[in-house]
Structure 1
Amino acid sequence: MIYKVYADNENFNNVEFSNGLNIVLGVKTETSNDTDTMNGVGKTTLLEIIDFCLGSKNDKNSYLKKIDEIKDWTFSIEMDFFNSVFTISRNIEFSKKIYIEGSVNDLPFVPEKEKGKYYFKLNDWRKYLGSYLFNLNSHSRFSPSFRSLISYFIRKRPESFIKPFEHHSKQLNWDVQVNNAYLLGLNWKCASNFQSIKENLKEIKKSLKKFDKTTLGEMETKKINLENELFTKNENLSSFKIHKNYDEIENRANQLSDELSYLSNSNMVLKRKLDKYLDSISNEVPPKNDLLGELYHEINDMFNLRTKKTLNEVKMFHDTLIKNRKSFLNVEILQIKDEIKNNNELIEEKGNERSKLMRILDTHNALDEYKLLQEQIYDDKIKLNEIKSYIDEYNEIKQNEKDINSKKNILKEKNELEYEINRGSWQESIRLFDENTKFLYGLSGELIINLKEAYDFKINFPKNDSRGISKMEIFCYDLMLLEKNSKERNIDFLIHDSQIFSDVDSRQVANALQLAQNKCNEHNLQYIFTLNSDELEKIKLELSDDFKLDELIKLKLFDNISNKHLLGFMFD
């Protein structure tokens, strides 16, 4: 239970609470004008301060952090904590330490101490609050957390008034499952285990994406083909013969190939030359003497005896020249034939040598080729191992998927069993919710818990076409959670912002407050809520005369009086 809220700044309007109903009222005065509003007087701010002292986060986007004027303020609450009343204090600027005053020696754990003051680190404070208020002893992943559980008992922001089972619009589904299961008396570990399975299956699905481009069958085929290639290459390697002088032999064979090519080309040139010389000899014929004389006679005996004598001499010279040329050509022809013969002999000799060398090369291999084959085999083995690893990884992932789905089926059976084991507890939740809705509307409301993957929560509410019906669903659900958990744990307070009653008919609000008062009186509970004065007057008209609503007002905050705002000043 929370008894007092105050600050270390004198401008702050302190407030004290008691068991039962506690109203924080926003008052619109008679002198207020149209621009004055009860939004901003500090009703929601007060709830934020209570939650702040109970360990809410305080980053740059936090509600209180945005108010520059209070950045060095320290807020305090007095509350029950392990069977004693303690003062809990937290500074806006230095918010990672929570200071505690009271019978610290009676606590089951020892606070740290600094300059004579006891404090908890923020995470420790949350852990100890969870232990005291909700009997939390598990802090593993996907387990109930104090900050999530307490948010069902302190609804202060618009997004917390949308659905009964959610306190925040961005609340994760597993968090909804686990924390509601815990509060309703179900086995929350089933919900937690289902979430773990979901995460594992999500990881498996993510891992299987790498196999999308290549099927298992394709990889098996690649493996078989590569194994066949490796077998063949290993067979070749085992029969591989290496000649110690392979490189020298290969170089000599290449040299002989070049020489043979040169000799063949040389013979081709010589043969062409020989053919030319032979053709020249066959065409060398001396001219007839009478032809030249007849020519001279035709030109009227232009040549005398002396000239004719000279022509005879020329003929003799020409005959001699032809004879000498034939002799030269015959000598050249003999030389060419000898050279061709020598070349042919060399071609035969070198050809025989090259053939012998090629036979050696054909039956042996070079060391470089041997190394190359070894490298190919090595590379293929790496590829084969990669493919085998690929296949093994795929099969392992698929086997894990099968195992997880098998565990999932087992968990479903276990959840059904746990559902029956905890029947008494969750049936109490359903009974209390039905009781609350009957009080408000005279009709049963259905809190439905379906077994699917973990749990599926649903509410069928009477008169679901009425204005503000979703708010009354939340009210009935929260009041049920308070009553049920106060019996089993130490949570004994419920806090609502005025949004819980917005758009709700004043008759239903009156019934809701009467119901809350009855529950608080019966079980010694505390209900703190904010309200505006115009709504208060409407509600009073619907209440019986013995319901003294004005006496439940613990703090009045006025719209047009600065020092009557919660913080002692106006702020946006």
Structure 2
Amino acid sequence: MIHKIWANDKQFKAVEFSAGLNVILAERTLESGQKDTRNGAGKTTLLNIVHFCLGADLHRLSLPKDELQDWEFYICLDLCGTTLTAKRSVSNAKIIEIIGDVSNLLIAPEKDSEGVIFYKNDDWRNLLGKCLFRIQDEASAKYAPSFRSLVSYFTRKGADAYTDPFKHFRNQKAYDMQINNAFLLGLNWLHASEAQEIREKESATKALNAAIKAGIGATQGELEAERVRIERELKQKSDALKSFNVHPQYKELQDQANQLTGEIHDLTNKALMFRRKLERYERAVSEEHMPDSGSVEKLFLEAGVHFADSIKRSLDEAKGFHKAIVQNRKLFLEAEASQLKNKLSSSDASIKAACDKRADILKLLETHGALEEFSILQERVIEKKSELEAIKSRIADIRDIAQHKKDIKASKIELETKLQRDYEQSRTDWESAVSLFNENSQALYDEPGNLIINTTDNGYKFDVEINKSSSEGVGKMKIFCYDLMLVELMRQRDGIDFLFHDSSIFDGVDSRQRALALMHAHRKGLECNFQYTCALNSDMIPSDDFAEGFELDKFVRLTLKDQKPEDAALGFHFELAKKV
């Protein structure tokens, strides 16, 4: 229970609390509430200071840090059966000094050289979590209840904190909402933590699946067909690579083969010329014959001409000379033909020798290759292997996604089974919560409302309902009934014993319900030994609707005014930083 809050600066309006109802009253004399960048009397400022004393980060609070640099705030409260005072300064907010008996505290404090007992802020928060909420260390849980989130249900600040009973700010993560409400309601919050891990896996799987679809653009069947084709091509190239023999003089042999081919062409052309010339010579030899000299004599005899002996002798000599010429020509042609035959024979032998040698070289080149060709073939094999691995990787990704989806589906089914089992096992706890909410709502309305707790494959699902809940005022009373139920539950577990509400809780609420809520909270606070503190504007007091004998003035712990700066909570007005 919080006993008192004060500061080292006397401008601050110290306030003391007690069990039951505590009212922070703001008398509205100016229209400053319509100026959203200027604080009014300081109701919200006081709530921010409570958060500051309970370990909230200074930068998250709407406080004038520059004007408060020399300020120290004090809170006197009960922790683990001990009443102690904690001091936190604005200039050194990481350290919380402790005054009082610390022997029974669950986390031992530190002591400086001057004997000052203190906690670092993280340790202070851990201590508050253990003392006020009985938070246990859960090393295996990735997500767990945190003191700052839990206490925010009991010290709601800001308009967004009064829109949903299960959230203390508008953008609160679903897993944080589930885990903390499950913890407060006595349910197994570890299942809510597990549900968040499943959601993360599901979200990651969806993102990966989308990325794979965008990158692959093919079905598994299409990829499998491509894999088979590439494997076949790879085998062919790998086999060729295995049988590939590199000849060190491959280039020289290739040049020799090309040279021999040229020589063979030259020899063949020359042989063709020799053969044609031989054919002409042989044809000339066969056609060569001696001239018929007797036909001349016969012609002259028939003409009656007789040659003299001297003339006859000259003709005989001419015949002999001509015969010798023909004979010599024939012998020459026959000699030339014989020489051509020898050349042809030699040429054919050279051609055969060149062809045989070239054939041997080509055979060697056929069974061997150059190093460059081997390297190219090797690179192609490597490329095919890389291509195949890429295809296999894509196929594996698709298979993994399919398996992940199956695993997630199985995890959801298993989680829902565990949730349902624990739901039954913790029936006593949640039935108590349902009953208390029912009682609180019935204290305000003719018909009781309902706290609804469902189990799904996505974790716990919470809801509250009160007739006429479409009304803004009834919606706010859902939060009132829920928060009051929470502090009652925590008192059953010897946990937190205070509940703060800003004046936002009563915005739009019917005057009669406001009166009933304040009276009901006071009665419950006394019965269960907790304090209910609320801020009220003077124009919100439902004086005519209180029960006879109930005087609100008895519960006013602090009265703030906005007419003069010194009447505000801090003793001065300040400009709030505008939200960008």
On whether the aligned pair clears a TM of 0.5, the verdict is: yes
The letter for the 2-side match of 1:170 is N
The letter for the 2-side match of 1:116 is G
Task: Give how far 1:499 is off.
Answer: 0.8
**CA RMSD across the alignment:** 3.4
- Which position in structure 2 is the counterpart of 1:563? 566
Aligned residue for 1:105, secondary structure, equals coil
- Which position in structure 2 is the counterpart of 1:52? 52
- Which position in structure 2 is the counterpart of 1:149? 150
Task: Give how far 1:376 is off.
Answer: 3.2
Inter-partner Cα distance in structure 2 for 1:34 and 1:50: 23
Q: Are positions 1:423 and 2:427 aligned together? A: yes
- Which position in structure 1 is the counterpart of 2:464? 459
Task: Give how far 1:54 is off.
Answer: 0.5
Kindly tell me: are residues 566 and 269 of structure 1, through their superposed partners in 2, closer, same or farther at Cα, counting changes over 3 Å? farther
The letter for the 1-side match of 2:492 is K
Q: 1:109 aligns with which of 107, 110, 117?
A: 107
Q: Report 1:331-370 matches (<5 A).
A: 350=354, 353-370=357-374
- Which position in structure 2 is the counterpart of 1:217? 221
Say whether the 8 Å CA contact 2:24–2:534 is kept in structure 1.
Answer: yes
- Which position in structure 2 is the counterpart of 1:331? none
Inter-partner Cα distance in structure 1 for 2:411 and 2:98: 46
Q: Report 1:135-214 matches (<5 A).
A: 135-138=134-137, 140-212=141-213, 213=216, 214=218
Kindly tell me: are residues 120 and 34 of structure 1, through their superposed partners in 2, closer, same or farther at Cα, counting changes over 3 Å? closer
Task: Give how far 1:100 is off.
Answer: 1.4
Inter-partner Cα distance in structure 1 for 2:351 and 2:411: 85
Inter-partner Cα distance in structure 2 for 1:243 and 1:161: 87
Say whether the 8 Å CA contact 2:72–2:87 is kept in structure 1.
Answer: yes
The letter for the 2-side match of 1:566 is A
Inter-partner Cα distance in structure 1 for 2:151 and 2:211: 42
Partner deviation per Cα, 1:64-95 (whole Å, 9 max, x = no partner): 2x442113311111001111111111122321
Kindly tell me: are residues 269 and 137 of structure 1, through their superposed partners in 2, closer, same or farther at Cα, counting changes over 3 Å? farther
Q: Report 1:371-386 matches (<5 A).
A: 371-386=375-390
Aligned residues: 507
Q: Are positions 1:500 and 2:505 aligned together? A: yes
Q: Are positions 1:26 and 2:31 aligned together? A: no
Q: 1:484 aligns with which of 482, 489, 493?
A: 489
Say whether the 8 Å CA contact 1:36–1:560 is kept in structure 2.
Answer: no
What is the aligned-residue identity percentage?
A: 40
Inter-partner Cα distance in structure 2 for 1:492 and 1:42: 24
Say whether the 8 Å CA contact 2:111–2:118 is kept in structure 1.
Answer: yes
Inter-partner Cα distance in structure 2 for 1:363 and 1:21: 103
Inter-partner Cα distance in structure 2 for 1:437 and 1:238: 85
Inter-partner Cα distance in structure 2 for 1:5 and 1:200: 45
Kindly tell me: are residues 39 and 241 of structure 1, through their superposed partners in 2, closer, same or farther at Cα, counting changes over 3 Å? closer
Inter-partner Cα distance in structure 1 for 2:53 and 2:559: 22
Q: Are positions 1:6 and 2:6 aligned together? A: yes
Say whether the 8 Å CA contact 2:33–2:39 is kept in structure 1.
Answer: no
Inter-partner Cα distance in structure 2 for 1:511 and 1:191: 35
Say whether the 8 Å CA contact 2:33–2:40 is kept in structure 1.
Answer: no
Q: Are positions 1:449 and 2:453 aligned together? A: yes
Inter-partner Cα distance in structure 2 for 1:543 and 1:489: 31
Please list every run of 5 or more consecutive structure 1 residues that lacks an aligned counterpart in the other structure: 271-333
Instruction: Judge which range, 131-140 or 487-496, deviates more.
Output: 131-140
Inter-partner Cα distance in structure 1 for 2:442 and 2:523: 14
Q: Report 1:378-417 matches (<5 A).
A: 378-417=382-421
The letter for the 2-side match of 1:395 is R
Partner deviation per Cα, 1:149-200 (whole Å, 9 max, x = no partner): 1111001211001111111001001111111111122221221111111111
Kindly tell me: are residues 543 and 227 of structure 1, through their superposed partners in 2, closer, same or farther at Cα, counting changes over 3 Å? same
Inter-partner Cα distance in structure 1 for 2:479 and 2:191: 25
Q: Report 1:242-321 matches (<5 A).
A: 242-243=246-247, 245-258=249-262
Inter-partner Cα distance in structure 1 for 2:423 and 2:356: 98
The letter for the 1-side match of 2:88 is R
The letter for the 1-side match of 2:124 is W
Inter-partner Cα distance in structure 1 for 2:352 and 2:449: 115
Task: Give how far 1:263 is off.
Answer: 8.0
Task: Give how far 1:363 is off.
Answer: 4.2
Kindly tell me: are residues 363 and 27 of structure 1, through their superposed partners in 2, closer, same or farther at Cα, counting changes over 3 Å? closer
Q: Are positions 1:542 and 2:537 aligned together? A: no
Instruction: Judge which range, 140-149 or 243-252, deviates more.
Output: 243-252
TM-score by length of 2: 0.79
Q: Are positions 1:78 and 2:62 aligned together? A: no
Inter-partner Cα distance in structure 1 for 2:7 and 2:485: 32
- Which position in structure 1 is the counterpart of 2:529? 524
- Which position in structure 1 is the counterpart of 2:289? none
TM-score by length of 1: 0.80
Inter-partner Cα distance in structure 2 for 1:531 and 1:241: 97
Q: Are positions 1:126 and 2:125 aligned together? A: yes
Inter-partner Cα distance in structure 1 for 2:409 and 2:468: 42
Say whether the 8 Å CA contact 1:40–1:571 is kept in structure 2.
Answer: no
Instruction: Judge which range, 433-442 or 367-376, deviates more.
Output: 367-376
Q: Are positions 1:235 and 2:252 aligned together? A: no
Aligned residue for 1:376, secondary structure, equals helix
The letter for the 2-side match of 1:199 is E
- Which position in structure 1 is the counterpart of 2:282? none
Say whether the 8 Å CA contact 1:36–1:559 is kept in structure 2.
Answer: no
